[in-house]
Structure 1
């Protein structure tokens, strides 16, 4: 470990898939824009491309297949043990498709972030892009939030909103939202690593100021 790494916040990233948000964090760390060191990438699914991204960046990887565990509690207990071996200041869920136990979320309360492809509290859960279209929403987007025991229910840190266009289908809308994911997730991680973003009394604060329920809001008016 270099002297530079000592100054950087240690981060563990959890993935289940291709890892495009992981790549945004890898790129930010490599450029020096993010004052973090990604200590490990852990996937609950083998052979996903996110593991390749991590390996290519020289980041240690681990596969912890949830199918190998008798219960959700047993999986979470082992995952917690593996994460804690790195003593991270922050745990980042980057497309980690697991519902976490209350014991797990409590253990990392205030130091675990997730990204969800909707303007929370709208459209918690899955299929958010199609649900936004079906509901006739004028705007859709993405939220970075602190993780609590409530699924997609922790306090929001930052949101990016995109207009819903008449020509949109779920795939087109998803692509525009994902571009914003790669902007706001590194930004939230940067703020946290710099000590600017915190969770206090179940609410998110930025620079000591209480954030609104939507978090810090960015309007992305790109077509």
Structure 2
């Protein structure tokens, strides 16, 4: 039986993309990387794993709708059923949300609803939090507001720097995200079997 096809959306270095690709027995096949930052390191990683890349600069489009129409065409042409955001630094718009409702996940480096948006690790650090963590959630139209699937706490130690905290958060992300991906994809497949 062939695996469900999925795409990863990423904008940066691709550490979560790499963790997903290296995950053993992944319940889906990653067939496409969508990147909104030409030159991002994640593009190189995708090529190393033999994953096709679709790289677009949103600034080349007159509107978010026009940009997402191109993205939607790309994911559909690869028969993508699931989309996983992994450091994708854009809010997903209506056309993608409607096409992939309940089939888009995001990973965020905080215990949502605390510290949503950009630089969540820096936000936690500046707030003097003694615990932060990682959240995997479904995507909705808000900024990190979709239904939470899983969370894992990461303590903030007195001697931590943003760099040391980020390293510990990423270590948790790289285990949690592939596990949650497997759980939701397997559950979805189980529920669609006649």
- TM-score of the aligned structures, taking structure 1 as reference length: 0.80
CA RMSD in angstroms, aligned pairs only: 1.7
Task: Indicate which of 142, 149, 153 corresponds to 1:157.
Answer: 149
Q: Report the equivalent of 1:124.
A: 116
Q: Contact 1:15 / 1:44 at 8 angstroms: preserved in 2? A: yes
State the secondary structure of the residue aligned to 1:177. Answer: helix
Q: Report the equivalent of 2:36.
A: 44
State the secondary structure of the residue aligned to 1:161. Answer: strand
Moved over 6 A (4+): none
1:15 aligns with 2:10: yes
Q: Report the equivalent of 2:186.
A: 194
Identify, as 1 or 2, the structure richer in helix: 2
What is the correspondence of 1:172-183 to structure 2 with a 5 Å cutoff? 172-183=164-175
**Deviation at 1:191?**
0.6
Q: Contact 1:188 / 1:197 at 8 angstroms: preserved in 2? A: no
**Deviation at 1:67?**
1.5
CA distance in 1, matches of 2:80, 2:133: 29
Q: Contact 1:106 / 1:149 at 8 angstroms: preserved in 2? A: no
Q: Report the equivalent of 1:216.
A: none
CA distance in 1, matches of 2:119, 2:44: 26
Cα displacement string for residues 84-139 of structure 1 (whole angstroms, at most 9, x for unaligned residues): 11222210111111122233222211000001111001111112122212323221
1:166 aligns with 2:158: yes
Cα displacement string for residues 62-86 of structure 1 (whole angstroms, at most 9, x for unaligned residues): 2111121111121112111111112
Q: Report the equivalent of 2:72.
A: 80
Q: Contact 2:91 / 2:141 at 8 angstroms: preserved in 1? A: no
Bigger relative contact order (CA 8 A; separation at least 6): 2
Deviates more, 1:6-15 or 1:179-188: 6-15
- TM-score of the aligned structures, taking structure 2 as reference length: 0.92
Task: Indicate which of 94, 103, 106 corresponds to 2:86.
Answer: 94
User: Given the superposition, is the C-alpha separation of residues 180 and 37 from structure 1 closer, same or farther in structure 2, using an over 3 Å criterion?
Assistant: same
Q: Report the equivalent of 1:113.
A: 105
CA distance in 1, matches of 2:55, 2:73: 14
Q: Which runs of 5+ in 1 are unaligned?
A: 1-5, 199-223
